[in-house]
Amino acid sequence: MHRLQQELFDDESLIQRLHALGLAGVRRVESHENRSVMVSLTGSGILRVHRGFAYAPDAVLAAILTFVSPRTRRPRRRAAQQIILAFPVYSNTRGPRRRPLRPKSRPEDRHLLRRLAQLHGLLGDRFFGGELGRIRFRISRQMRRKLGELTLDARDRPVEIAISLRHIRSDGWQEVQHTLLHEMVHQWQAERGLPVDHGATFRRKARSVGVAPRAVRDVGRTH
């Protein structure tokens, strides 16, 4: 089957199975292949689910419904989260898609890229014991909602951190440092072979470096 046809089939199957298990209270369901948030429910009522869950057993899909339900109490939500995170998404799919080639950096961005690299080195020494690897940076003009993003390669190795130009211009470098630390925690996860997500390990490490974990209902990795 052609890849696009297969993806459409996977999406349709996933959505149908979620509705068959009792999905309600959402405006629509969208599939994705984001590596850092496997499942999320937006404030406007859109349920976003990783396409790989089309291959999950009903028990995992039921856990997704439990996790996103506003009526679910915290202990049950945590238990559902563990079921979701335990499902091997990538080993049950054809593997992550190759990301398109990124645009080359513009000459006017060079001073911003140098500053980000310097910050990465300083923060890496201060909060990660100098153990993080060097990484490429990119200034994004396309990001409208995201502040930053870590890109992994097909083997889940960190290759790039992108920071929103709008974020730099409107929020200043103190906030950019906070965003960079957030992405560096994801880099730390990836370099240790940990799931790159916003789960308990992320939250503990984020607090240790002074980053407040996001107060949203999402499940992590690949925001």
**8 A C-beta contact, residue 206 and residue 185:** yes
Residue range 10-45, pLDDT digits in tens: 678 788 889 899 988 888 888 877 666 788 888 888
Per DSSP (E only), the strands in the chain are 28-32, 37-41, 46-50, 136-140, 148-152, 158-164, 218-220
What pLDDT is stored for residue 219 in this prediction?
Answer: 34
Write down the pTM of the prediction: 0.54
Q: Which of 34, 149, 150, 40 is nearest to 89 (CA)?
A: 34
Label residue 73 exposed, middle or buried (CB < 10 Å: 0-12, 13-18, 19+).
exposed
What pLDDT is stored for residue 35 in this prediction?
Answer: 62
Other CB atoms within a 10 A radius of the CB of residue 94 amount to 12
C-alpha 9/C-alpha 6 separation (Å) is 5
Domains and CATH numbers, the chain: 3-92 (3.30.2010), 107-214 (3.30.2010.10)
Q: What is the share, in percent, of the chain residues with pLDDT greater than 90?
A: 38
Q: In which residue ranges of the chain is pLDDT below 50?
A: 1-9, 92-101, 215-223
Q: For residue 85, give both structure tokens.
A: 């995170």
Which amino acid, 114? R
What pLDDT is stored for residue 36 in this prediction?
Answer: 63
Q: Which of 134, 104, 102, 142 is nearest to 116 (CA)?
A: 134
